[in-house]
Amino acid sequence: MPALPVMCLALAAAAAAPAGKEAGPPDAPRVFFAEPKIATVVGERQAEVSFAMAHLSALDRYLEYVVGVPPLQGSGARVELADVRGLAPVESRPAAGQMLIVVRPGPSADFADRCAEAAARAWAGRAALSAGVRPAAEGWLIQALAAETLAQLRPALPDLWFREASLSAAPSFADVAAGKAPVRESLLLWRCLRQELPAREAPAALQDLARGQSLAALLKARSKSPESWWTLMRTELLLSRPPVSLGMRESSEALDDIAAFVFDLGAGDAVFTGPEIVPHRRLVAVRQGVEIRLRGLRREIIRQNPVYHNAWRALGVWLERFQEGEPAELDALWREFERERAEAGALRAEIEAALAQPAR
């Protein structure tokens, strides 16, 4: 990366003065500062400075309270917010013993990503410089720390990333480590590593990675093949983590599972619909099985996709009335459930068709 000049906001403001006016002493620009623990933030617009500061503070909270990394000592970092032509959205380099990061503001979503990346680069750069080495963290680590920063501010994001990852094949370990895969994969890679490491070892391992140690070397030192380890751990992570909220597909599949009853009624295990088990509701196994389904539904309904909420609620009513309701009442409630499930399926199809349309 070419060397970057340290930004001078006063000169930038003077250069932007409108032409045609008599030259005079330039007005001194207003410069705002914020000093979260990871880096000093400097900019000409207070709102932008506050926005960037929120991301730096979020990463600091994550590192301290989630991972347990102690505060860095020694070298500092400076994040400057300036729309400088010719620079990438985020530029970083060591300068005068500290990290300098220049961030170009932009639309809110882009600016959030840039601020999160700046926070990750500031911390990783400081970790390296404080150990007397040049910043050399692998691309995936910067992406992972930026993703964890965004997750602190938008807690629903990891759920979206996990759902997207569950529908995609695992990219190669080499592509993820190089930062060539989607950001979500870097987040998954870091969370897989955290599951692998004892909690007491994670802070030191993260700092070693920030100082340039490759993840492949770390895994090989633990007698693990990086590629096979990544494929296995990613699969286990996606299967073991319950999402905060379910997508339409997950809600539909979970509803199908909870509405199908498996009992041995004299001919071996078989799958029954609700109306088919009503004549056998005095059997202990049937009664207990329905009670378990009802408890599960009450626990899980809050996570269901809104498209399927009414269908889940209708099934809950049937389960609640299973022991006491008359057969005719239960039949009517089951028909209502089937109607709600069919309507949810039709609405899901419409939504998915609309989302599949190419953007105009």
Alpha helices in the chain (DSSP H): 9-15, 46-61, 108-130, 139-153, 157-166, 173-177, 183-196, 202-210, 215-221, 226-240, 248-258, 274-277, 284-300, 309-320, 327-356
Domain with CATH 1.10.390 in the chain: 29-240
Could you report the average pLDDT of every consecutive run of 10 residues in the chain (360 residues)?
40 41 60 84 91 92 90 87 87 88 88 94 94 91 96 85 90 93 95 90 94 92 89 90 77 92 79 89 89 88 87 94 92 95 93 73
Cβ burial 253-273 (10 Å sphere, 16+ → b, else e) = ebbeebbebebeeeeeeeeee
User: Which residue, 257, 249, 256, is CA-closest to 348?
Assistant: 249
Model pLDDT, residue 337 = 95
Report the DSSP pairing between strands 98-103 and 77-81. parallel
Q: CATH class for domain 29-240? A: mainly alpha
Neighbours of 314 (CB within 10 A): 20
The model carries a pTM of 0.65
What spatial distance separates the first Cα and last Cα of the chain, rounded to whole Å?
Answer: 37
Cα–Cα distances in angstroms (integers) from residue 240 to residues 162, 182, 243, 247, 257, in the given order: 11, 21, 9, 17, 18
Model pLDDT, residue 32 = 84
User: Which residue, 89, 39, 29, 31, is CA-closest to 63?
Assistant: 39
Model pLDDT, residue 11 = 34
Model pLDDT, residue 317 = 94
Model pLDDT, residue 154 = 87
- For the chain, give the longest Cα–Cα distance: 99
d(CA 8, CA 29): 11
Model pLDDT, residue 1 = 36
